[in-house]
Structure 1
């Protein structure tokens, strides 16, 4: 996708993408507006700690797309492309979903936008279907596996439409699974123990994919093989193994921490203690 850059210019290959940057700024503005409205009513439901969480999630997602990570990952290093994907599909989304948990999910959108959307029957039915735990997991798995099929992965690397579609589908899949794990709106589609099981399933699914990439005996993607210059001196198979490690470590940090917090909440519930000091369960 695009001309090959001289390696000395790669580290300065920032791309200003108005839709991405604008989307991030709008999301932050919506959050701050909703946070302020809720805080006027109940300060305990809109603590200051939510602001850095949401801003960090939005910034991580935007930077993963507009920073040199994008150019390096597309053209030179599979490991950097994997880093971009886990930042977009896991870390950024996890931070933002945690930030809006509780009543903030309702206050996030301005009322003049939320009300018309809530009246759209087809939208409500679609969301209700996608947010069934089994459907959320299936969408995430299909997205994860499909985009690592070599011919589809290569198409995304060399075609802007497919590349943007890949990123969008990762975001959608990530939102669905993290909504099940965190349950920000308190719909309780899953019990706490079921959320523990769901989180474990997501973790081990990711680990199986990571192990497959790590231990595959040859490079999977021609783009990272057919290069006149080996960035950082990494051979294709070494780079591919590093991509698997990136996925394993990121999953351990994000999904693993979520599992630990859920386990702590389950233990406190059994002991008859409040799960969190701000009285909002995980």
Structure 2
């Protein structure tokens, strides 16, 4: 017996993704004018559109119906919505692209108070994974479409807020100097990865909904759960490693830029000082 692997062209999701892509492409093209000193690069466009495709894969492709039958595929859907898609979409932004909305973003962050704090993003991200993997809630999401939509909204919101503090091209309330971004990331990746390890080595299946499913692909409920936990743990470790490398490179780049600014400032001060020094009479 084979699982249902059909495509799901939900009109609301299709319209939203097409609209987001169209707005971005329009803004990207408008920003690449001869008068713009810092036009967005082509790779920004590509990663943003790839992020839209990842959203489409998670919500419209066979991953969605397979997730209702196989726990491991449900986990794939979770990590796409929580990490992969938000990372790609946010990397597609630049200060120039966000310029029309920058003031509104700052206004919202100011008014949001503690909701816009990095500490809240850490708790929200971690809680989104731990709480939704409580058996009663996980079973409810698998059985009821409305709860499943709420689960998706939670993951996407938590992912965007969390990665916005790390990757946003406009300033946030997270200090990006030194070890702060790495500690911020480790505080979530380790705790969520631990959840994946618990699922991987659990002695028996804990999700009743998937216990009652046929053993698709030869996966028993316990092995299906172990595979799902391994997917979560490995994905968290991979993302953590890649993100640490990215943050380290960005830290070195920002340090080099700071040194260049300091050198230019010192040169200007030296030139000004030389201009004020009176000429020596012969």
Provide TM-score, normalisation by structure 1: 0.83
Using a 3 Å threshold, how does the CA distance of structure 1 residues 20 and 173 change in structure 2: closer, same or farther?
Answer: same
Aligned mate of 2:84, from 84, 91, 114: 91
SS at match of 1:218: coil
Q: How does 1:251-266 map to 2 (within 5 A)?
A: 251-266=236-251
Q: How does 1:21-170 map to 2 (within 5 A)?
A: 21-40=14-33, 41-42=35-36, 44-74=38-68, 76-107=69-100, 118=104, 127-170=112-155
Following the alignment from structure 2 to structure 1, what is the Cα–Cα distance between the partners of residues 112 and 46?
28
Shift of 1:8: 3.9
SS at match of 1:251: helix
SS at match of 1:27: helix
The superposition leaves residues 203-258 of structure 1 with CA deviations (integer Å, 9 ceiling, x where unpaired) of 2122111111112221110111112x310001111111111111122223333211
1:4: which partner in 2?
A: none
Following the alignment from structure 1 to structure 2, what is the Cα–Cα distance between the partners of residues 50 and 142?
31
1:182: which partner in 2?
A: 167
- Answer with 1 or 2: which has the greater Rg: 2
SS at match of 2:73: helix
Using a 3 Å threshold, how does the CA distance of structure 1 residues 46 and 267 change in structure 2: closer, same or farther?
Answer: closer
Using a 3 Å threshold, how does the CA distance of structure 1 residues 43 and 15 change in structure 2: closer, same or farther?
Answer: farther
Shift of 1:188: 5.3
* RMSD (CA atoms): 2.5
The superposition leaves residues 33-89 of structure 1 with CA deviations (integer Å, 9 ceiling, x where unpaired) of 221222224263411111110000011112211111111111x21111000111111
- Number of equivalences: 257
Using a 3 Å threshold, how does the CA distance of structure 1 residues 10 and 129 change in structure 2: closer, same or farther?
Answer: same
Structure 1, unaligned stretches of length 5 or more? 1-6, 276-282
Provide TM-score, normalisation by structure 2: 0.83
Moved over 3 A (4+): 123-129, 267-270
